[in-house]
Amino acid sequence: MLHISNLSVSIDELSILNNVNLNIAPGTIHALMGPNGSGKSSLALTLMGHPTYKVRDGSVCLDKKDLLSLSVHKRAQHGLFLSFQQPLEISGVPIASFLKASYESMHGHITPTELKEKVLFYFDLLNMDHALFYRNLHEGFSGGQKKKLEMVQLLLLKPKIAILDEIDSGLDVDALQDVAKGLNFARQENPELSLLLITHYQRILNYIKPDHVHIMQKGTISTSGDHCLAQHIEQHGYDGYIDAAN
Ligand code: ADP
Ligand code: MG
């Protein structure tokens, strides 16, 4: 479904990603791990179409469509979803208006009442206080509340493929379980949903078992394996893994 081939990306003259190759089939879960600064978020933002990241070489196809030629808006309409590592607070944009506009751009008209009903169902699923629904986008939210609202967007928008950039960072164990519950619910609703989970830790992978684990180092995917690779990293770190591999 998603085919990334030989993707190389720069910011200004600085090379950030080099020859990244990754194939994600429908309904599969991929974990992307790697040290800080290795390029994981850059890959996520490039796929979504962030203008800072200039593609020097390579291609990305989603369902045989050339993703890189599409605007961010069209990429989302085509079924690509990104949950940010650091979701922004946007004053003056009520959550209800934001979610209504996002939903309608993908799925057509919905009344405010229908939207609220759907959203509050997902709030309950994720153990979120209904009062948050009446705020501006992420305004005054804790780190965990922001990550949960990103999950609500995923559940509401029903993408084909979701890239989750450190959805688990800053979450306590209860919030982590709620987010994992949301992800598993989304997969039940749509078994074809593919996930690219960017994470530093094995712990979320205890709740959502990845089919494939990839390690990114210095802007490229250096190693791929199954869920055992994530356990090995947890025990030995990235250096330990390199030593073991050599
Ligand atoms: P990760 O998510 O794996 O921690 P990032 O993709 O955030 O890594 O960063 C990869 C490299 O690209 C780092 O060296 C980082 O400093 C650099 N980088 C990322 N975004 C920018 C930016 N907007 N401007 C300058 N450098 C950037
Ligand atoms: Mg990052």
Cα–Cα dist 75/77, whole Å: 5
pTM, rounded to two decimals? 0.93
For residue 202, what are the contacts with CB-CB under 8 A and spacing of at least 6? 230, 231, 233, 234
Range of the domain at 212: 2-86+159-245
Residue 142, domain member (yes or no): no
Residue 106 domain flag: no
Q: How far is the CA of 109 from the centre of ligand 2 (A)?
A: 35
- Category of 80 on φ-ψ map: left (φ > 0), alpha (ψ -120 to 50) or beta: beta
Q: What is the pLDDT of residues 143-176, one digit of tens each?
A: 889 999 999 999 999 999 999 999 998 888 999 9
Question: What is the pLDDT at residue 239?
Answer: 73
Task: Tell me how far apart the alpha carbons of residues 112 and 133 are, in angstroms, rounded to a whole number.
Answer: 12
Q: Which residues line ligand 1 (CB under 6 A)?
A: 11, 16, 34, 36-42, 52
Q: Please give the share of the chain, as a percent, with pLDDT higher than 70.
A: 97
Whether residue 136 lies inside any domain: the answer is no
Quote the number of domains for the chain. 1
Nearest residue (CA) to ligand 1, atom 11: 37
Cα of 192 vs centre of ligand 1, distance in Å, is: 31
Ligand nearest to the CA of 85: 2
Q: Which segment of 38-47, 102-111, 140-149, 226-235 scores lowest on mean pLDDT?
A: 226-235
Instruction: Judge whether 133 lies within some domain.
Output: no
Any domain includes 176: yes
**DSSP per-residue string spanning 91-141:** EEEEHHHHHHHHHHHHH----HHHHHHHHHHHHHHTT--GGGGGSEETTT-
Residue 116 lies in a domain: no
CATH code for position 75 = 3.40.50.300
